[in-house]
Structure 1
Amino acid sequence: MLALARLFLILFVVLTVIYASVSIWSRQVRKKKLIAEWREGGPDHGDDMNAFIRKGLEEYDDSFRRKLIGLVYIVPIAVIAYIIYVVNYT
């Protein structure tokens, strides 16, 4: 039982690092797309670039895509739980 707790602790730390990396990477990609969109549209947007990017990133924070990154935690734990179940009870 202690080994399982240690496994989940290490898994949680590794998954947290992966989650943070993917989250930061995804946010940077979105920011680059917003900058490119603002440069293409230019004065049509009506506000300065920083306000446009801030508003776009706020919309991104509430988006479904951002919430999908949480699957980084759910999928590996579900797979491990399934493997443990199959090995022990079938």
Structure 2
Amino acid sequence: MLALLRLLAIGAVVLTPIYAALSIWSRRVRRRRLEAAWDAAQGPGGRDAYVAEGLAEYDRSLRRKLILGVYVLPLCLIGLIVYLTNFH
């Protein structure tokens, strides 16, 4: 059991930079889209306020939460494989 916990801890350490890179990339793509949308429409208000409001909405979105799957899926699969190999 201790070996499984150690494997999961190492997996979490390895997955952390992947999660960070994916999160930063996704936020940057969202920012570019918001800036392009404001530039095309020249919407009401300032560009910075429009982008900040859009990013605040993005922070509450499902897409942002789905990025946590980078941690959940691999660690659960490792746990499932170890369980099925040893106890099934």
The RMSD of aligned alpha carbons is 1.2
Q: 2:36 is aligned with what amino acid?
A: A
In structure 2, the gaps of 5 or more residues are none
In structure 1, the gaps of 5 or more residues are none
User: What is the TM-score of this pair, normalised by structure 1?
Assistant: 0.90
| 1:26-74 Cα deviation digits (max 9, x unpaired) | 00000000011001101xx211111110000000000011000011111
CA distance in 2, matches of 1:83, 1:2: 16
Q: Percent sequence identity over matched residues? A: 49
Aligned mate of 1:60, from 41, 50, 58? 58
1:14 CA drift (Å): 1.1
Q: Which has the higher contact order (CA 8 A, sep 6+)?
A: 2
4+ residue runs over 4 A deviation: none
